[in-house]
Structure formats: C-alpha cells, structure tokens
Amino acid sequence: MESGAICVHSNMVEDKENVANGEQVSKKGAKKLAKAAKKAEQKAETATAIAANNAAGDSAEDSALGRYGLSEMIQSKDKRSERNFVAVHELSSHLEKGLLWVRGRVHTSRSKGKQCFLILRQQSSTVQCILAVGDIISKQMVKFAGNIPKESIIDIQAKPVSVPNKIESCTEQTLELCVEQIFVISQAKAQLPLQIEDASRPENADDDGLNIRVNQDTRLDNRVLDLRTPANQAIFRLEAGVCRLFRDILTEQGFTEIHTPKIISAASEGGANVFTVSYFKDSAYLAQSPQLYKQMAIAADFDKVYTVGAVFRAEDSNTHRHLTEFVGLDLEMAFKYHYHEVLHTIGNTFTAIFKGLRDNYSREIESVGQQYKVDAFKFLEPPLILQFSEGVAMLREAGVETGDEEDLSTPNEKLLGRLVKAKYDTDFYILDKFPLAIRPFYTMPDPSNSTYSNSYDMFMRGEEILSGAQRIHDPEYLIERAKHHGIDTTKIAAYIESFRYGCPPHAGGGIGMERVVMLYLGLDNIRKTSMFPRDPKRLTP
Amino acid sequence: MESGAICVHSNMVEDKENVANGEQVSKKGAKKLAKAAKKAEQKAETATAIAANNAAGDSAEDSALGRYGLSEMIQSKDKRSERNFVAVHELSSHLEKGLLWVRGRVHTSRSKGKQCFLILRQQSSTVQCILAVGDIISKQMVKFAGNIPKESIIDIQAKPVSVPNKIESCTEQTLELCVEQIFVISQAKAQLPLQIEDASRPENADDDGLNIRVNQDTRLDNRVLDLRTPANQAIFRLEAGVCRLFRDILTEQGFTEIHTPKIISAASEGGANVFTVSYFKDSAYLAQSPQLYKQMAIAADFDKVYTVGAVFRAEDSNTHRHLTEFVGLDLEMAFKYHYHEVLHTIGNTFTAIFKGLRDNYSREIESVGQQYKVDAFKFLEPPLILQFSEGVAMLREAGVETGDEEDLSTPNEKLLGRLVKAKYDTDFYILDKFPLAIRPFYTMPDPSNSTYSNSYDMFMRGEEILSGAQRIHDPEYLIERAKHHGIDTTKIAAYIESFRYGCPPHAGGGIGMERVVMLYLGLDNIRKTSMFPRDPKRLTP
C-alpha cells in the first residue's frame, strides 16, 4: 500500500445528502457552517452520523464535520435508496465516474501525518483507500479514520482513481479510493482474538518462524473471524459448489432428491458408534447413514434418489479426517442387470464434479492456493477402475504384506493411492470387488467368486471418500446373509420387510462432503472444510 | 382395460437370446425342442429363467418354455446390454418398431380363459399388457402371468400395438403391449398390507362408503407401498422441485449454501422443546433452528447464505401441521439500510417458487389432484404485504376481538387468510411489523413505533410458513434486549460475542419445507408431505 498516489479533489462533488443538509463546506466560514450543520444534523430525522469524539476543542474547527463519524445503529429507519453501493471487485468499471459508496471492513488502517491509508476488505476483495487533509478532509477526520478498529464495518463515499504503480497488497491493484465521507456502521472490538493477517498467512512462507501463526483451536474458537480469511471464503464457496454440482448432475440424470429422518428408532448399523437421543418418554438414535431410507425410496419406485444431509457417528476418533457430524452426499439407484450401471454413474458424477470445480471455481482454488500448498487435482476420463485384487497385487509388489481378504489399512490406502498416482497419473480411482468378509451383511456377494462382493470404494488422493455396493434386494437371501453374520434378524425385521413387496436390484453409495473438499484441495485436516466442525472434543461454537 | 384388442403375432421375431439358446419354437416338435431348450438353459451360464412350477405334467407340453418364469436373483452376473429397455411413458414413440423390453410392476393381472390382461406400472405410468394363447404363448404361460402377485417387478419383452378404443384405466391409453416373454425379477408377497388401488382412490369419490379407504397409520406403517401411489410419486417429486427452486433462485442472486451443525452445546431458543443427545461423556442438544449459525456466517462475511437441513422440535404437538423433525429452508442476508431489502428478496423467492411449480410441475399437480381436491394456488406479483395492524383491523372488522399486541391464534390466522383471499385473491401474503412483545429477544424493534418490531411472517392458505426478522446486530443493544426479556446473558455469551467483531445489519427467515408443499397443494396433513414423518407418536419406519 501507500504507493505514493495522491488524491486530487479538484472536482469536488457534493452528494445529494450533503446538499440536502445544507452543508456547503469551504475553508472560509467552516466554523460557522460546521456549527449550523451539526445543529441541522441533530434535528434531521434521517441523520445517521454521530460526530466522532475527537480531542477537546478540535471539533469547533473541524471543516469535515458531518462527513465522518459513528453511524447510529441501522434499525431500518429509512431506505437511503439514493446511495449507489458498488462492490469492490467491480470498482474498476467505475473509474472516473465520480463518487460512489462502498461498504466493507477496515482490513488495516494507519494515519501518518496528514494522510490516512486504509485497506477496505469486502469478502476476498481488498482496495486501498486514502484520506488526505485538504478542502474536504480535515485533520480530525484523518485521525478518526486512522483509529477505526480493524474489522469494523464502514461505509465510505469515495472516488475511484487510477494509480500509476500497482498496489501489491490489494486485490484491486490498479486503483485506489479517494474518500470523502466515512462512517462506522458496526464497530469491532479494539482487541481481536486473532488477526486476519496472521490467519491468512501462507503456510509455506519462509519467515524463519518470526511471524505469528494461528493454531487450529484458536481459529475454531473464533470461527467468525477465522472464516473471513480469503482461503476460508474460498473453501466454503467451493464447498457450496460441490453440493450444487452433485445435485445438478444427478438431477440432470433423472434422480429425485429425498429427505430422510435423522431421528430413528433403531441403530442403523448394529448399535455401535451411535448417539442416543431422549425422545419424549422414550429413547431414539441419530442416523449414521440414510441408507435404509434410500433403499426404501427405491423399493417405493423412486428409481434414482439422492439426499444431502447430516450424518452422525459417535466414534471417538480424533484424527485429521473424522468428524462426529458431517454432511453426507448419498445416492441410490435401481439398475437393470449389473451394478456397474450404478458404479459408472457414480464415477462419472465425480468426473463431472471435478470438471465443474476446475472450470467454475478456479478463482477459489487459486485463493486457497495462496495460503495452502495445493497441487492441481488430477483425474482420468472415464475414471480408473481397479479390482481390489489388483490393488493388493500392487501393494505386494511394493513390499507390503497383506491378505487377500484383509481390509486396506489407512497407511496401505495411502500407499496404494501413491502407487496408483505414479502408475496412472490420477488422484481419483475406483476400487471394485472388495472381499465379501469385510463388508456389511447386506452387500451382494460376487456371483462368480464367493470371496468377493459387488462392492466398491472410491478414493481421492489415497483416502476413501465413498463406500458403496449392490445391496441384497431379496428378503430371503438377506436373512441368510444376516444369519451368516450372526445378526439377530428380529432386530432388522422392518428392514427386511421393505423388500417383500417387490424391489428392483439396486446399488448406491455415500460420500463424505467435507472429505471431498479437503482432498480435492489437498488440505490436511477435515476441520478446514467443516464450517462449524464437531468432533469428540468440540461442540462449539 | 380389456378393450377387446387382440394381439396378432403374424410377424414373430425371435430375439437374439432365444436364437442363442437354440430355441426355434413351433407347434410341431415343441415337446422335443422344449426338452432340449430346458437342458441348454440349465447349462447356459447366462440363463436367468427358472421354469415356472406349473401343474404337474403340463411342462412337457409347454411350447413357451424358456419364455417365462421366475428370474434368478439379479446378482450382476452379466450386463445383458442387448436388451433395449423402454420407459412406459415413451412407448408411444416405439409403435410398430418391433419387440422391446419393459421393466415394471404388476399393477393388476387377470387371466381369463386363453388370455391374460395385465397392467404394468412404472412409477406413475401404466400400460395394458396382453398374453393370448397362440404360436408364442402357451396356456401355461397365460396361467403363470395371471398368477404373478401384484406389485412384483417383472421384465417383459413385447410389441407395442395401437388399440382402436382408448384404454381408460391406463395412462397409456392408445396402445397396449403384446407380450412374448415375461420374467419375474422380484416377487411380492401374495398378501399386501394395503392395495395400491385403495391407497390411490380419489378422496371425493362418490362411492357410498363401499370402497376401502386406507387410513393414515396403515399408509405410514407401510410407507414403501403407500409411496407408490401416483399422488405420492407426484408429491415427493414436487417437493424435490421446491428445494431445487429455492436453491437455484437464491444461488442466482449470489447466496452461498452453508451447512450448520445439528448437534449443539446449548439449546438454541431457551431450552424448551429441545431434544437432548448423549455426547460421549457429556450432553448436547439437537438444533431447533440454524439461526445462530446463519448469523455467524453473515458476521463472517458470507453476505447472503441459505441452508437446507433437518430441524428438530421436541414439541408434544399432535396436530395436522407439526412434526418433531422437518426440513428447514433457511436464509439470512446482510442488508444496507432497511430490512425490507431482505423481506422483498424472500417474498420474490416465494413468487419465483410458485411460478416454477406452476410451470414445471403441472403434471405432478394434476396427479395429486386426481386423488385429492386441489385448488390452484393463487399468488400476486409482487406479493401482497400487509402491516400486522392492518391484519388486526381486518379481523376486528370481521367481528373478532383481538388485542394490538396479541399474537395471531391459529383460528385467527386461518380466518385472516380467508379474509385476505376474499379481498385480494391471493393464497400468499406477508404480514409485516409484528408486535415487539411477542417476538424473540433478538428481534430488532421498530425505530418509529416501539410497540412493533422489524419482523414478519409469511402465509400460505392462511397458515404460517415463514417467520423472520431483522436481528439485532449490535452486541450492547442485544444485551439490553435480552435483559429486558429476563434472559441470563451469561448463557448466551457466545451468541453475543459473535457480533463484537463487526457485523452488518441483517435479516432472514426459516421456512418449513413440508408445510410449503402441503399448503401449495392444499393437502390437509403434513404427514402427506414428509416421506418418513416423525411426530411424538411416530418414529418408524
């Protein structure tokens, strides 16, 4: 900032409001006018400016009185429709068009003699603002502007002016705002629990440890501030994009959105890791997955369904990738003859999401990249599909001992991701035909090899983000498989009953939304992609 | 059905599969061929047909063997990509184009001598199918088709043929299917807890009480069957449309979708009517509204946000319009000077939803209308906005005694809806400026009349579907108002703290999704618009 540009106020334009208030400020007679103006303002029903409490005696000589101050609380007293607000990122198209209004936050502010340099932030956009003592700006006004606490919301009336040298510290680099009025709309505390500047600092900055880092708990404890960093603004806008793409792509293919209950009478996956809810005089549980309900919707002729909603896991896992509450992107689909009809639909949905993010969210990806190291996400089209047994072979070739029917451990999952990346140059792949023994009882066994099953996981950067399968739609076979797993079939009678009225073969899967965003961006912790994360130790804010 | 049309099999075409199986069926030598065919089929790895167990001795003479039967469970053995499946509602464009495959449910089936008339249902579409004993169809096959339990899922290979007389009982009225192969894919129980025909019967049918009605609990207990009625298929497709429209309209206007936690550490609205969750060694609550989190997102610079998700109310209300868990369509928006910027945004969102439903869901609205009496939903553009005091005046004019600061009782709400409808011809309106005394502490008082507040409700057919307000964004004033309401401010310290780092003025509201669908369609019970409703007495399915 402070590129040396000077504001020239040669074409001073009074805005309507000032004229209406009868303020015709000049150096001569400023004192008299100021008094009159103050009186008029106090009377005016629509007055919003409360004079700043500057050093005693100064106010009498303040030529800028009424042009700055603390606004009274906006209580919807009037509509002020005459104020033409412009967004910061659109300022460049308003150059040389005279005065306009901008509302934003004080990102930084510093008065230095007769000037005040202030960076105004609006979401991820920043612009330099300048106040220089002169015909319009008084020294009290400069002082006032320099003292506004960071993060306060202000309204400024200003002229956008081109600057000769790029302003490197702002997103708007070719212009600055010459301020003529400045009012505080909502004042922030002087002492902030964290500085946006610190919270925004690039992780890989070569700073010899001299710069302040904000640790994760401080961030999450003060999420309202932390979310204001450019990276966080981008992460959650991209996250909204993931949901939108997921829904739009599936809607386009004839899927119907459904809503499934979160409070359920029986634990959906056997009773472990489930939260209990008091339900009037009874007890209930929080759903660990919408699966039963998706399957019921299939049995009820909805053919292809998806649901986006909260999923709960009472798992005491304190890792980088576990949350106790997350957003599930779940889908289920009837098929004609082969579950690969579904597997390909899901795989192609991921491809379309990756393309949509790449094409429509490049600005957000770049923003995140300015703080965190982000390698572009690579994917193949159509997606790579490997057999579980091929994955095992690749691991063994790399020297890992693992059984044919052994589930992938987290380190093996990660290693396989690296091996696949090295061999196929993709960050996304599908692993098909998991061993039957390690999948839930309702998983359809592979008809040609009883060791395996018609089930699959999908991976991003070597971490599982979807687990799915063909489900057994035949009630008698379901009972047989449940018994094989030692499950008390009386406890799942309602589930089994759903298939007694004719049910098409179907398959589906559940995606952890936060994981998709974390892994797409290559972030290291799922708490970075949950706006208000919940884990065994965190229930606030 | 049974319009008298006769299937003519003059151009018998063998499909690939039969040729592959070596079946070249004719009357002469049928016995021999049938045996060979059976043997071949048993050996064939891809065989799916299991011969139907007909009366002893019959099978030897069955010329249609291999053309019908119970399919073995579809376990994704092969992909059968040669089978060209056609959707029932697209059959008319396949007339005279030869054989095709259709998968659907047996809606009804009846064999009558040498013929079987079967209605095949696919979601809301139905088509008549006919099997007549002849070159292709044996009498055993006719018998088999007539005995398939209703609601079973079947695959048929058939030729679509025009019929001279409209088939009134089907949605496809100008054609029927001449079946050549029929296989049961998933067999339903012979005894169903409810008949789709009964569950689909028009409510206003003039039947002298002779027809069976299905009561609501039977429907909900057997939701997988109940959801198959044309009205239910339409209701939940339209409901998906409401969500899609809500999101698309707001996204278009720069809103960002967010996700808010359902498990919270403190009861959001004072502790009444809240479900308690056991959270590891602690206790937590289920969120009654995402409001605090929407407001935090506003304070965190997201400017305009919406969220679609589960909302929980532990209210022991057993009415037609209360659920303990429902889907909230919530939005919150920063504004510049007047909360009407938000009120108009919400009002216009409703208008756009109503137009979207009218224009894109007319088929669904018609389907619902065939079972339930639906008056077209009327709305004005722009929407009607009345002051609360005007509403009170209208009620008083109609002879109702109600205080200036008294909340609207449910009967008064309903009555006011009728009065507004009579006077303005609209089923949707906005009531603005509710008395301050009856709104929550965080509601911004009206700056010009301390009796009122900057808050509003919106109504559809005389029932509230949105409640909203400008929220107090000034922490000191919030404390003052909380104290005025006798609230212990230490318990809402975190909420108040959110506004200490600069927060723009903002307003918002929450919409009950199921209510919108119920009232748009003019249905009488919210359980009709919740796929798996939850109320104090119902936690299943």
Give the residues across from B157 on adjacent strands. Answer: B101, B181
Query: How far B260 CA sits from the closest chain A CA (Å)?
Result: 7
Q: What pLDDT score was predicted for residue B41?
A: 43
B434-468 pLDDT, tens digit each: 999 999 999 999 999 999 999 999 999 999 999 99
CB B179 within 8 A of CB B131: yes
Catalytic (active site) residue A321: yes
Is B322 touching A (CB cutoff 8 A)?
A: no
Determine whether the interchain pair A227/B473 forms a contact, defined as Cβ–Cβ distance below 8 Å: no
Give the residues across from A445 on adjacent strands. Answer: A453
Is A165 touching B (CB cutoff 8 A)?
A: no
Is A396 touching B (CB cutoff 8 A)?
A: no
Give SS3 for B484: helix
CB-based contacts of A528, cutoff 8 Å, min separation 6: A235, A518
Q: What pLDDT score was predicted for residue A212?
A: 82
Examine the pLDDT at B60 and tell me if it is beyond 80.
no
pTM over 0.95: no
Catalytic (active site) residue B244: no
B166-223 pLDDT, tens digit each: 999 999 999 999 999 999 999 999 999 999 999 999 987 666 667 788 999 999 999 9
Is B444 touching A (CB cutoff 8 A)?
A: yes
Place of tokens 């009874």: A282
Q: What pLDDT score was predicted for residue A48?
A: 37
Give SS3 for A511: strand
Is B503 touching A (CB cutoff 8 A)?
A: yes
Q: What pLDDT score was predicted for residue A45?
A: 30
Query: How far A241 CA sits from the closest chain B CA (Å)?
Result: 8
Q: What pLDDT score was predicted for residue B213?
A: 86
CB B84 within 8 A of CB B101: yes
Give SS3 for B73: coil
Query: How far A460 CA sits from the closest chain B CA (Å)?
Result: 22
Q: What pLDDT score was predicted for residue B48?
A: 37
Q: Which of A383, A395, A408, A399 is nearest to A460 (CA)?
A: A383
More confident: B493 or A240: A240
Catalytic (active site) residue B464: yes
Domain boundaries, chain A: 2-59, 196-226, 230-529
CB pairs under 8 A between A and B: 300
* CA closest to A195 among chain B residues: B501
Contacts of A244 in chain B (CB under 8 A): 247, 251, 257
Is A152 touching B (CB cutoff 8 A)?
A: yes
Is B43 touching A (CB cutoff 8 A)?
A: no
* Out of B277, B296, B336, closest to residue A277 by CB: B277
The count of residues in chain A is 541
Q: What pLDDT score was predicted for residue A46?
A: 31
Q: Which of A140, A138, A121, A119 is nearest to A130 (CA)?
A: A119
Helix axis angle, A230-252 to B230-252, nearest 10°: 150
What is the Cα–Cα distance from A535 to A322, expressed in whole angstroms?
7
Q: What pLDDT score was predicted for residue A47?
A: 33
Which band of pLDDT confidence, cut at 50, 70 and 90, is reported for residue B266? Answer: confident
Strand pairing category for A384-387 and B49-50: unpaired
Q: Which of A388, A373, A471 is nearest to A429 (CA)?
A: A388
Pick the CATH number of A230-529 from 3.40.190.10, 3.30.930.10, 3.30.70.1150, 3.40.50.300: 3.30.930.10
Is B524 touching A (CB cutoff 8 A)?
A: no
Q: What pLDDT score was predicted for residue B412?
A: 97
What is the Cα–Cα distance from B51 to A19, expressed in whole angstroms?
94
B401-430 pLDDT, tens digit each: 999 999 999 999 999 999 999 999 999 999
Catalytic (active site) residue A103: no
B168-180 pLDDT, tens digit each: 999 999 999 999 9
Q: What pLDDT score was predicted for residue B268?
A: 52
Which band of pLDDT confidence, cut at 50, 70 and 90, is reported for residue B96? Answer: confident
Determine whether the interchain pair B74/A337 forms a contact, defined as Cβ–Cβ distance below 8 Å: yes
Examine the pLDDT at B247 and tell me if it is beyond 50.
yes
CB A453 within 8 A of CB A433: yes
Rg of chain B's alpha carbons, rounded to an integer?
30
Q: What pLDDT score was predicted for residue A207?
A: 62
Examine the pLDDT at B24 and tell me if it is beyond 50.
no
Which residues of chain A from 174 to 213 reach within 8 Å of chain B, CB to CB? 185-189, 192
| Mean model confidence pLDDT for chain B | 89
Determine whether the interchain pair B259/A105 forms a contact, defined as Cβ–Cβ distance below 8 Å: no
How high is the mean pLDDT in each 10-residue block of chain A (541 residues)? 43 35 42 48 37 45 94 92 92 94 97 94 96 95 96 98 96 97 97 95 74 92 97 98 98 98 78 90 95 97 98 95 97 97 98 98 96 94 98 98 95 98 98 97 96 98 97 97 92 91 98 98 97 96 92
Query: How far B345 CA sits from the closest chain A CA (Å)?
Result: 15
Determine whether the interchain pair B280/A236 forms a contact, defined as Cβ–Cβ distance below 8 Å: no
Report which listed range, A202-211, B58-67, B266-275, B307-316, is most confident: B307-316
Contacts of B447 in chain A (CB under 8 A): 75-77
Q: What pLDDT score was predicted for residue B39?
A: 47
CB A420 within 8 A of CB A429: yes
Is B275 touching A (CB cutoff 8 A)?
A: yes
* CA closest to B259 among chain A residues: A531
Query: How far A261 CA sits from the closest chain B CA (Å)?
Result: 6
Query: How far A242 CA sits from the closest chain B CA (Å)?
Result: 10
Q: What pLDDT score was predicted for residue A205?
A: 65
Contacts of B105 in chain A (CB under 8 A): 301, 502
Determine whether the interchain pair B263/A539 forms a contact, defined as Cβ–Cβ distance below 8 Å: yes
The upper half-sphere exposure of residue A112, i.e. CA atoms within 13 Å in the direction of its Cβ, equals 8
Peptide bond into A230 cis (omega under 30): no
What is the Cα–Cα distance from B511 to B523, expressed in whole angstroms?
17
* Out of B236, B303, B324, closest to residue A258 by CB: B236
Choosing from B94, B322, B344, B538, the catalytic residue is B322
Mutation site for A-interface testing, chosen from B48, B73, B75, B449 by largest number of A Cβ within 10 Å: B75
What is the Cα–Cα distance from A260 to A442, expressed in whole angstroms?
19
DSSP E strands in A391-480: the ranges are 428-432, 455-460, 463-471
